[in-house]
Amino acid sequence: MRVVGIDPGSLACGYGIVEHAAGGTLRCVDYGTIVLPARDKLHDRLRLLHETLLEMLHRNRPDEAAVEKVFFARSVKSALSLGQARGVALLCIAEAGIPYGEYSPNEVKKAVVGYGKAEKRQVQEMVRMILSLGELPPPDSADALALAICHLNQFRPEG
């Protein structure tokens, strides 16, 4: 099973693809951060996000997806922008015909670190260790990979 994790944002959107490999191990297939130009208008950033996410989904062909639930924002304006970016991510997932799950940041941290209030650096380090990565993934990518790991922890293969 191959899962894409998406950590939506209107300026940076992390993604990470993790595969449930033979023997129950998890393998990182791809990860990255889609950086959207802050100088561009929101609708242009959302269009670019849509195009880039769709291309990534077609390239990696995940079986399922995991998306972070919106839990808070610093202001009403940032909450609206984040919600719109999240909507674009959900639209891309729907267009690709992929089932998905939603997880709160605390659920993801608990699944990956074992503690729901873990700090970003702890999540990055645990993702690096779980996936045997040579380097620490960037924060948005690490969050996306952690989402995929969390989703795969919910999946119990038969046999």
Type of residue at 5: G
Radius of gyration of the chain (CA): 15
40 is catalytic: no
Q: Which of 19, 64, 68, 143 is catalytic?
A: 68
125 is catalytic: no
Q: Which of 7, 19, 64, 107 is catalytic?
A: 7
Judge contact between 35 and 12, C-beta under 8 A: yes
Q: Which of 19, 64, 107, 140 is catalytic?
A: 140
Question: Token digits for 34?
Answer: 């889609």
Judge contact between 134 and 101, C-beta under 8 A: no
63 is catalytic: no
Which of 108, 128, 125 shows the shortest CA–CA distance to 116?
108
Residues classed as catalytic: 7, 68, 140
